[in-house]
Amino acid sequence: IRAAKSLLAPREQEELEDLPNDYPSSTSEDEGDSGGERKHQKLLEAISSLDGKNRRKLAERSEASLKVSEFTVSSKGSGERLVLSDLLEPVKTSSSLATVKKQLNRVISKKTVELPLNKEEVERIHREVAFNKTSQALSKWDPIVQKNRQAEQLVFPLIKEQSAFAPMEHVLNAWKARTPLEQEIFNLLCKNKQPVTDPLLTPVEKASLKAMSLEMAKMRRAELQRARTLQSYYEARARREKKIKSKKYHRVLKKGKAKNSLKEFEKLRKTNPAAALEELEKLEKARMMERMSLKHQNSGKWAKSKAVMAKYDLEARQAMQDQLARNKELTQKVQVASESEEEEGGEEEVDLLVPDAVNEAHMTADGPNPWMVRNHSDDAKEAEIQKDSEQLPEPMANEASESEEEERPVAEEEILLKEFKESQLLRKMSGLNQDTKPVGRQETEDSSTQEVLSKLRGLSQKLNKDNHQCRKQNMGSVRTVLSTQREGPAGEEEEPLLLQRPERAQTLEELKELSKEGCFQNEELPRPALEGQQVERNNQPSAPKKKRKEQMIDLQNILTTKSPSMKSSAVPTIEELEDEQERKQKQMIKEAFAGDDVIRDFLKEKRETVEASKPNDVDLTLPGWGEWGGVGLKPSAKKRRRFLIKAPEGPPRKDKNLPNVIINEKRNIHAAAHQVRVLPYPFTHHQQFERTIQTPIGSTWNTQRASQKLTTPKVVTKPGHIIKPIKAEDVGYRSSSRSDLSVIQRNPKQLSIHHKKQLKK
Amino acid sequence: MKVKMLSRNPDNYVRETKLDLQRVPRNYDPTLHPFEVPREYVRALNATKLERVFAKPFLASLDGHRDGVNCLAKHPKSLATVLSGACDGEVRIWNLTKRNCIRTIQAHEGFVRGICTRFCGSSFFTVGDDKTVKQWKMDGPGFGEEEEPLHTILGKTVYTGIDHHWKEGIFATCGQQVDIWDEQKTSPICSMTWGFDSISSVKFNPIETFLLGSCASDRNIVLYDMRQATPLKKVILDMRTNTICWNPMEAFIFTAANEDYNLYTFDMRALDTPVMVHMDHVSAVLDVDYSPTGKEFVSASFDKSIRIFPVDKSRSREVYHTKRMQHVICVKWTSDSKYIMCGSDEMNIRLWKANASEKLGVLTSREKTAKDYNQKLKEKFQYHPHIKRIARHRHLPKSIYSQIQEQRIMKEARRRKEVNRLKHSKPGSVPIVSEKKKHVVAVVK
């Protein structure tokens, strides 16, 4: 059976387990049985009884003596011994006896009835229970009470009552004509069939009144109107635009769109690099699509027809070329790790990912640093110094490059994109040859989106190249274009866009060099003279030397104004700026108070106060007493010495050892009368209190809105409005659903059964 | 040559219509407006002084009763209507805007002990020394009708107080026991007792409307639950409590006006210690009523004055008195929280402003902002000695003033004695009892 049990599902096991109970007498027989055959039969029986139909079949009785040996009743297989209790078991479980036993138990457990509690005690317990209940019910108000107590402002009445719309007949219902005059009038009205108590409004009217307020309806109508007009307007416009046949118009339109999207991309790139990256990914996807499709290949029907025409028709040839160019463009990779420098590409990536503020330091290499720009505007002279310091400004370089390559064919896109590029100046370096790279690549296209994509692609490519080449070429470009720069310094200064962005020293070696040479060249000629030299030197072939010279001059100038370390630090810090401001401030103050010697004044004042605070000697000499007196005669020194009472020296002053402080030891009682002596209650620290006092709340010091906010009264009541007690429904609680009255009537002055039970406990 | 000129956009300084205020550009640079603290201090000082100058709280006196005013009731729907019951059994209904009596009823023989209005404002109830409870219509009798009560219930004992349920047609009376009545029935639906002393006042809780509070002459305050028809708890104080009043915004807070010159604010869940003991009166406090905002309450005292207490302060912020006002028996705060009415022994009902220096009527927006600003300034600098002194200064009649001095001395003596006892006894043997706990004798469950 056990084996079967383990095999059967738990549900079936249950049934199996209560089998022995059904046949209580058979257990002993089981034990006696030793044959596997019988066991098997039993199992079959059990399984067959599982379906429940023939479950009640009685086991057949067999003679025990046949199977049990005479000497022992033990069973071999299970190894269990027969215990006496096993034999007694049926007695216990028999149902007829169990009931009797239950009754017996009940009789035994019953005790004598306890005396009921005296009335007072019962009442007391009752009260206690009721009190606990009530106080629990009341504690739901705790959060609301707390909130109201701490509220910045409470406006009463708490719930604004809507002015109820009471129709005439409702008002009139309660009214009855009493006086003879009233009755007369009433009769007259009735005679003329004027509505007195009849509903003055039809049900439909009532419903409509309830449905929507007038303002709501008006607003909704206005909204709908506006939507309708807008729709019709857009429809008309679309129709109009559709009608236009001019190809040029559409081309221009497309271009405009392309331009816009380019701009947007640029903006996005500045503000949200992640989104820009996504845009780039889109590009990549477009490329993949293009590579998969045959759209711009030569194999299409149109392309083939054009190919035939191409020999004779210039336009067709052009179109073919366009298409191929498009294909090429679209299939071009976006990011080119050119010249085996993977770093650069990586850097670019980082640039895209990291917000501008973070990689400011990196950006400064090619973009206008806001700090530096401000410096320029602040101090023109310094700007000049910086400009001269290392490298040339970019616009200049650009111009130069353009002038160099004017002969090259410039595609129309170049012009179109010029603005975009200019906005891109931040990123662009003084790359010379790269500018014209995408020439001839971009042509007119059929779909504007593709155009945009391709342009973006081109740009990004160019940027990559620019970026990684910039550093190499920086120096070179400096040298080559220096002459032009020197020639027109005045012209430079006029243009506001000429952001004189100094190229910072980027490597450690350079820095060292700079500092060294700075020291080295300290005693050199002043600047104007040197400039002349430079012009000469520009022509010299030895570029590195020239560069050095430049730096020397620059440094010398800087040393007079600023510390070189500050100058050459990798990131122009805020301190620099602050320093400068401070200096300016100091200068200004110095100028303003040129004549004053504050320190001496202070010392003098201190001396005076110290003197004044010393106790005075008392001179009791009486001139003319015991000797001659008169004009020109003074009492003798001896006498004066004798009658002079020296004042005792007071305690040492608190500021005796503090040279730049005067401590007034006399408390000013006039001021003290207005001062708070003890920290008032709700404050825990004097600073806290002082802060509250020191923040002004008036409109003299605050904007209107702020002062309004600061002076909001704690409790606002409206005149003429009745303030009702707070209600549970108002604050979102469910009020007790049953009315108090009904509860009382249900259980007037008696304890409920529930309570009695509670009392017993 | 380019000439640089100052050019300004007229939009910045020209107003659009002549009804607009002139645009005044303002530079809020703190360096341009120095001395903010001293300047605000001076403003606060001036505001405080002006407040005292304009503190004229007394508005009107309603005379007409021929005996002391014993009870007052507010109309639940109309701010202008007030009901009062006098010691000669007369009930008057007053119009506050016209300041005259609009109706007079001879309601009872002997005192009118209590008066209350129905929650809807259509009728009111009175109880008197003639053992009756009467219900009256709020509107006067029609043409040619007699002035008669709607219902009259004759009880077995004298009723000393009455209060109406806030939502339903139930009212509660007190006397020998607290009875709860249905308006439609002539016998109480349940009556609750605890002890055998006469109960002087009973009040329904305005928020949890099944709760009642009563105070009896055996110095106790008993709370009842109407739904379970059982008393809940009882607290016994030093002396008798004359009335209690529930806070209309905080369901479990009530204030008791006590004979021992103090008022006690209790949290009904913890009766063993009052939340606050309010002391300033120099004689028994006879009545108390909460402001509908639940932030303040007013108390009437036998010392011929009424005082206004903030709920969370133990000292009063205001005291009102006039030469002619005698013992004030009843006081009510109007339901717009702007006025206070008090009825006194010498047959008058007086109308006061709740804020002594408040300007009545409609305020312009500039007045309003100035008022708010001044109020905030006063609050901000309230701890400064000069301002504090001026703000706290009140003129008191000599009787009250001397009483205060006397009681201060007595109190000081008591305190000194206590301190001495504490000092000269074995540490721990004399317990230190806080002021709050001192007055609670016991809490009976």
Task: List the domain boundaries for chain B.
Answer: 58-353
- Report field, pTM of the whole predicted structure over 0.95: no
Q: Give the range with max mean pLDDT: A518-522, A631-635, B250-254.
A: B250-254
In whole angstroms, what is the distance from residue A519 CA to residue B317 CA?
78
Interchain CB contacts (distance < 8 Å): A and B: 185
Å between A713 CA and nearest CA of chain B: 6
CB contact under 8 A, B190 and A749: yes
Instruction: Report the 3 state secondary structure along A7-40.
Output: HCCHHHHHHHHCHHHHCCCHHHHHHHCCCHHHHH
And the tokens for A167?
């129709």
Residue A387 confidence (pLDDT) above 60: no
Please compute the mean of the pLDDT values over residues A421-430 and round it to a whole number: 49
Span of A91-95, A221-225, A755-759, B232-236 with lowest mean pLDDT: A755-759
In whole angstroms, what is the distance from residue B135 CA to residue B120 CA?
14
Query: Which of 3.40.50.720, 1.10.600.10, 2.130.10.10, 1.10.3720.10 would CATH assign to domain B58-353?
Result: 2.130.10.10
Confidence at residue A753, expressed as pLDDT on a 0 to 100 scale: 40
Picking from A126, A694, A740, the nearest residue to B230 by CB comes out as A126
CA dihedral B234, B240, B243, B245 (to 10 degrees): -50
Q: Which of A89, A111, A110, A93 is nearest to A101 (CA)?
A: A93
DSSP type of residue A491 = H
Band (pLDDT 50/70/90 cuts) for residue A201 is: low
Does the CB of A739 have a partner CB in chain B at under 8 Å? yes
Q: Which of A744, A728, A164 is nearest to B168 (CA)?
A: A744
Residue A90 confidence (pLDDT) above 90: no
| pLDDT, mean over chain A | 67
CB contact under 8 A, B168 and A749: no
B294 interaction partners in chain A (CB closer than 8 Å): 148, 726
DSSP result, A169-217: HHHHHT----SHHHHHHHHHHHHTT--SSS-SS-HHHHHHHHH--HHHH
Å between B2 CA and nearest CA of chain A: 15
Please compute the mean of the pLDDT values over residues A287-294 and round it to a whole number: 83
Picking from A135, A713, A745, the nearest residue to B189 by CB comes out as A745
To test the contact with chain B by mutation, choose from A132, A149, A723, A730 the residue with the greatest count of B C-beta atoms within 10 A, namely: A723
Instruction: Report the 3 state secondary structure along chain B.
Output: CCCCCCCCCHHHCCCCCCCCCCCCCCCCCHHHCCCHHHHHHHHHHHHHHHHHHCCCCEEEEEECCCCCEEEEEECCCCCCEEEEEECCCEEEEEECCCCEEEEEEECCCCCEEEEEECCCCCEEEEEECCCEEEEEECCCCCCCCCCCCCEEEECCCCCCEEEECCCCCEEEEECCCEEEEECCCCCCCEEECCCCCCEEEEEECCCCCCEEEEEECCCEEEEEECCCCEEEEEEEECCCEEEEEECCCCCCEEEEEECCCEEEEEECCECCCCCEEEECCCCCEEEEEECCCCCEEEEEECCCCEEEEECCCCCCCEEECCCCCCCEEEEEECCCCCEEEEEECCCEEEEEECCCCCCCCCCCHHHHHHHHHHHHHHHHCCCCHHHHHHHHCCCCCHHHHHHHHHHHHHHHHHHHHHHHHHHCCCCCCCCCCCHHHHCEEEEEC
Q: Would you report the helix, strand and coil content of chain A in percent, each value rounded to 5? A: 60, 0, 35
Band (pLDDT 50/70/90 cuts) for residue A323 is: confident
| Closest B-chain CA to A719 | B336
Residues, chain B: 445
Residue B376 confidence (pLDDT) above 80: yes
CB contact under 8 A, A726 and B248: yes
| Closest A-chain CA to B267 | A135
Å between B197 CA and nearest CA of chain A: 17
B196 interaction partners in chain A (CB closer than 8 Å): none
Beta bridge partners of B123: B137
A residues 401-440 near B, CB within 8 Å? none
Confidence at residue A97, expressed as pLDDT on a 0 to 100 scale: 80
Band (pLDDT 50/70/90 cuts) for residue A741 is: low
Residue A24 confidence (pLDDT) above 80: no
And the tokens for B253?
């807070």
Residue owning tokens 């303040």: B296
- B311: number of Cβ within 10 Å: 21
Confidence at residue A415, expressed as pLDDT on a 0 to 100 scale: 52
Residue A728 confidence (pLDDT) above 60: yes
CA dihedral B65, B68, B73, B79 (to 10 degrees): 50
Task: With beta carbons less than 8 A apart as the criterion, state whether A484 and A291 touch.
Answer: no
Percentage above 70 pLDDT, chain A = 50
B405 or A334: which leads in pLDDT: B405
Q: Give the range with max mean pLDDT: A314-323, A393-402, B38-47.
A: B38-47
Percentage above 90 pLDDT, chain A = 12
Å between A394 CA and nearest CA of chain B: 30
Residue A95 phi/psi, 5° resolution? -70, -35
Residue B367 phi/psi, 5° resolution? -60, -40
Does the CB of A736 have a partner CB in chain B at under 8 Å? yes
B37 interaction partners in chain A (CB closer than 8 Å): 693-694, 696
CA count, 13 A, side-chain hemisphere, B368:
11
Confidence at residue A42, expressed as pLDDT on a 0 to 100 scale: 83
Q: Give the range with max mean pLDDT: A105-119, A142-156, A526-540.
A: A142-156
To test the contact with chain B by mutation, choose from A176, A694, A744 the residue with the greatest count of B C-beta atoms within 10 A, namely: A744
To test the contact with chain A by mutation, choose from B48, B226, B232, B362 the residue with the greatest count of A C-beta atoms within 10 A, namely: B232
Confidence at residue A26, expressed as pLDDT on a 0 to 100 scale: 43
Å between A183 CA and nearest CA of chain B: 12
Picking from B206, B292, B383, the nearest residue to A680 by CB comes out as B383
Which strands sit side by side in the sheet containing B306-310, from one edge to the other?
Answer: B285-290, B296-301, B306-310, B318-320
B39 interaction partners in chain A (CB closer than 8 Å): 700
pLDDT (tens digit per residue) in B161-195:
999 999 999 999 999 999 999 999 889 999 888 88
Confidence at residue A382, expressed as pLDDT on a 0 to 100 scale: 45
A606 or A51: which leads in pLDDT: A606
In whole angstroms, what is the distance from residue A135 CA to residue A131 CA?
6
Span of A440-444, A681-685, B342-346 with lowest mean pLDDT: A440-444
DSSP result, A115-134: PPPPHHHHHHHHHHHHHHHH
Q: Give the range with max mean pLDDT: A168-182, A200-214, A453-467, B146-160.
A: B146-160
Span of A292-306, A425-439, B269-283 with lowest mean pLDDT: A425-439
Residue owning tokens 């639950």: B225
B255 or A35: which leads in pLDDT: B255
CB contact under 8 A, A725 and B28: no
pLDDT (tens digit per residue) in B126-146:
999 999 999 999 988 888 888
Residue A203 confidence (pLDDT) above 80: no
To test the contact with chain A by mutation, choose from B167, B180, B226, B249 the residue with the greatest count of A C-beta atoms within 10 A, namely: B249
Span of A69-73, A603-607, A638-642 with lowest mean pLDDT: A69-73
CA distances from A186 to A326, B121, B144 (A): 95, 27, 19
Confidence at residue A259, expressed as pLDDT on a 0 to 100 scale: 92
Picking from A139, A675, A744, the nearest residue to B190 by CB comes out as A744
ipTM of the complex: 0.91
Q: Can you list the positions of beta strands (E) in A531-675?
A: 618-619, 644-645
To test the contact with chain B by mutation, choose from A124, A175, A679, A697 the residue with the greatest count of B C-beta atoms within 10 A, namely: A697
And the tokens for B148?
């008669």
Confidence at residue A523, expressed as pLDDT on a 0 to 100 scale: 41
Residue A192 confidence (pLDDT) above 90: no
| Closest A-chain CA to B248 | A725
Does the CB of A38 have a partner CB in chain B at under 8 Å? no
Please compute the mean of the pLDDT values over residues B225-242 and round it to a whole number: 92
Confidence at residue A235, expressed as pLDDT on a 0 to 100 scale: 94
Residue A761 confidence (pLDDT) above 60: no
A509 or A312: which leads in pLDDT: A312
Residue A98 confidence (pLDDT) above 90: no
Does the CB of A726 have a partner CB in chain B at under 8 Å? yes
- Measured at the CA of B358, the angle between CA B355 and CA B362, to 5 degrees, comes to 130
